[in-house]
Structure 1
Amino acid sequence: MTAPLGRIVIYTKKIEQMAAFYARHFGFSVARAEGDRILELRPQTAGAALLLHPVSAGQKEGQALVKLVFDVEDVAAFCEASGKNGLKFGKVHQADGYVFSNAKDPSGNSVQVSSRAFVRR
């Protein structure tokens, strides 16, 4: 039996900013259910949905040791296009047969674009 990853919950005080960020830079669509305090971001293609959940007392934004990694074939081109759209990535790093670059979302969570998924192993 398998259980594919379907959703990732991100706790934030900045629901609207986060929704706009992931929609603008990574192509998610926003789905709101009346009366639900969780806002769902659905991917345009395959992949996990992001659930934006309001932070509760005692939680701190950007403190989880989790990084969202988005698969892109041409990391440098994606970073360049993102920069023109207001999202600044750091240096493009060379790894074991692939490249990646890191940035932060509005709540300070780490996000990465990586070509690792396209490496033939």
Structure 2
Amino acid sequence: MPLSRLIIYARAVDETARFYEKHFGFEISRHPGDRIVELCSRDGGAKLMLHPAAKGQRAGQSVIKLVFDVEDVEAFCRRSKENGLEFGPIHQADGYQFANTKDPCQNSISVSSRAFRKVD
């Protein structure tokens, strides 16, 4: 059974929705009376669901990282910087690259070319 949705608890739901729309190409979907904002990728994959955070939840306290598959990490990070999103250093791993950043709620995000690596 495939993983289809991830919930992100957000203090700034609207800002976080615009962040994923602008930088990762998600489409924002809202339904009247629903507290959850659903973000759908134009390329398929799991949906992100933004849920208002409870007062007691601390920003970025979860132990999860969202990883987005990109074929060219350097090019993606360069384009992102032009759009106002800075990634940390690009790391070279075993046949792929990755770089990290945070969303407006301080959740960890990575872009990685691991899905495109050549495995012998």
TM-score range, shorter chain: over 0.9
Q: Distance in 1 between matches of 2:20 and 2:85?
A: 11
State TM-score, norm by structure 1.
Answer: 0.96
Shift of residue 57, structure 1, vs aligned partner: 3.0
Shift of residue 120, structure 1, vs aligned partner: 2.8
Question: 2:34 — aligned with what?
Answer: 36
The amino acid that maps onto 1:37 is: R
Q: Percent identity?
A: 55
Q: Distance in 1 between matches of 2:73 and 2:15?
A: 24
Question: 1:77 — aligned with what?
Answer: 75
What SS does the corresponding residue of 1:23 show, helix, strand or coil? Answer: helix
Unaligned runs of 5+ in 2: none
Verify: 1:25 aligned to 2:23, yes or no.
Answer: yes
Q: Distance in 2 between matches of 1:120 and 1:40?
A: 34
Q: Distance in 2 between matches of 1:62 and 1:98?
A: 26
Matched positions, count: 119
CA RMSD of the aligned region, Å?
A: 0.7
Shift of residue 46, structure 1, vs aligned partner: 1.6
What SS does the corresponding residue of 2:104 show, helix, strand or coil? Answer: coil
The amino acid that maps onto 2:45 is: G
Q: Distance in 1 between matches of 2:78 and 2:19?
A: 16
Q: Distance in 2 between matches of 1:67 and 1:22?
A: 14
Question: 1:14 — aligned with what?
Answer: 12
The amino acid that maps onto 1:9 is: I
The 5 A counterparts of 1:1-121 are 3-121=1-119
* The 10-residue stretch of structure 1 (26-35 or 50-59) with the greater mean CA deviation from structure 2: 50-59
Moved over 6 A (4+): none
Q: Distance in 2 between matches of 1:120 and 1:76?
A: 18
State TM-score, norm by structure 2.
Answer: 0.97
